[in-house]
A and B are shown apart, each in its own frame.
Chain A
Amino acid sequence: MATTAQINIASDIAPGFGGIIETMTLTQAGNIVDIDSTTGFSIRKLSATGAVDLVTMDDISNTVETKDSTAAKIFIRNIGYKGVIDKSVGVTIGVKAEPIGLLYGGDWMMMPLTGIDADDVTVNPATDDTVVIEYVMFYEEN
């Protein structure tokens, strides 16, 4: 079965835009061998502003390390808290010190990662309200 991800984007912003439906199979870098490792599916509850690591690259599960500059990917979703999803408040997702963008309530993202030590994935809530982030990372084991 491997690891696959399908995206489906529909929009009526531009007349005639037919949408996007694409599927990718997550493979290792530079070949068609399936990607072989994952952090597993996890959640992280945040209740205060301030950037913290969601994934620390040299400490994944305290047992393995990602191979650098390969084909790692991470899926992250802001699932709100106790069933309440606030689309007006977000969590800034970053890599190291670089903010990638704000993930508002209910929003999800999928992005590649370098896996390099110190290129950690960070999360920084906009408010002190409790919010839960769910995530799963796929990578090549070093």
Chain B
Amino acid sequence: MATTTAAVTLTSDLLSDNMSVSASTTCMKAGTTADGLDGMEYGYLDLITGDEYDLIGATPTASKASKLYLKNHSTDETYFIAITQGTQAIGRLYAGDWMFIPADFHDAAGEIAITANGGTNKICYALFHEGITKDASA
């Protein structure tokens, strides 16, 4: 079985006492406890301004247990990537920010779309999945 683990350590001094949370999970296929995700797509690229782009250039199997990591590696703190799923704005990843989410890809409109703001953003992403259908060649 392929094994993918994702761990996080979160600390903050915004409360009256320092907060520290650690969590780790093994990424399994949907609905199973014995079979791990076995596919991945990994990229590091420049994202130019002007248009919205699908992050994943293929169609992952919908409603499964995919996990998506995305980081904005830009160094100018005013730069950000706007994240949209379907028609819903999710949020912004400013320079240095990362996110890690379960990705549903429930239909063609469920794709994660990204838009660069401020200038060309440098991004890194990784999709861990359990099946993908490549886009047909034009």
Interfacial residues of chain B within 62-101, with CB under 8 A of chain A in the complex: 63, 65-66, 69, 71, 77-78, 80, 83, 85-94, 96-101
B92 touches A100 (CB 8 A): no
Q: Tell me whether A50 is interfacial, beta carbon within 8 Å.
A: no
How many residue pairs at the A-B interface have CB separations less than 8 Å?
206
Q: Tell me whether B104 is interfacial, beta carbon within 8 Å.
A: yes
With contact pairs A30-B94, A69-B92, A112-B91 given, residues A101 and B12 touching in the complex (Cβ less than 8 Å): no
In the bound assembly, the distance between CA atoms of A73 and B91 in angstroms comes to 8
A101 touches B90 (CB 8 A): no
Q: Tell me whether A37 is interfacial, beta carbon within 8 Å.
A: yes
B3 touches A77 (CB 8 A): no
Set of chain B residues within 8 Å of A25, measured between Cβ atoms: 96
A71 touches B90 (CB 8 A): no
Q: Tell me whether B137 is interfacial, beta carbon within 8 Å.
A: no
With contact pairs A1-B13, A5-B8, A93-B102 given, residues A98 and B88 touching in the complex (Cβ less than 8 Å): yes
CB distance from A113 to the nearest CB of B (A): 5
Task: Give how many B residues have a beta carbon under 8 Å from the other chain's beta carbons.
Answer: 64
B97 touches A71 (CB 8 A): yes
With contact pairs A29-B92, A102-B65 given, residues A9 and B23 touching in the complex (Cβ less than 8 Å): no
CB distance from B43 to the nearest CB of A (A): 12
Q: What 1/0 mask marks residues of chain A from 73 to 114 whose CB sits below 8 Å from any chain B CB?
A: 101010000000001111011011111111110111111111
Set of chain A residues within 8 Å of B28, measured between Cβ atoms: 87, 104
Of the candidates A9, A29, A101, which one forms a contact with B6 in the assembled complex, judged by CB atoms under 8 Å apart? A9
Q: Tell me whether A142 is interfacial, beta carbon within 8 Å.
A: no
Q: Tell me whether B133 is interfacial, beta carbon within 8 Å.
A: no
A24 touches B90 (CB 8 A): no
Least CB separation from B18: chain A residue: A1
With contact pairs A99-B106, A104-B28, A109-B100 given, residues A71 and B85 touching in the complex (Cβ less than 8 Å): no
CB distance from B138 to the nearest CB of A (A): 27
The 3 A-B residue pairs with the shortest CB-CB distance in the complex, in nearest-first order: A112-B91, A101-B102, A98-B88
7 pairs, CB–CB < 8 Å, chain A vs chain B: A17-B42, A24-B96, A29-B92, A37-B14, A41-B19, A109-B101, A136-B12
Contacts A9-B6, A104-B65, A106-B25 aside, 15 further interface pairs with beta carbons under 8 A come to A3-B14, A7-B98, A13-B38, A26-B12, A32-B77, A38-B12, A88-B32, A95-B85, A98-B86, A99-B104, A100-B101, A104-B30, A107-B27, A108-B25, A110-B99
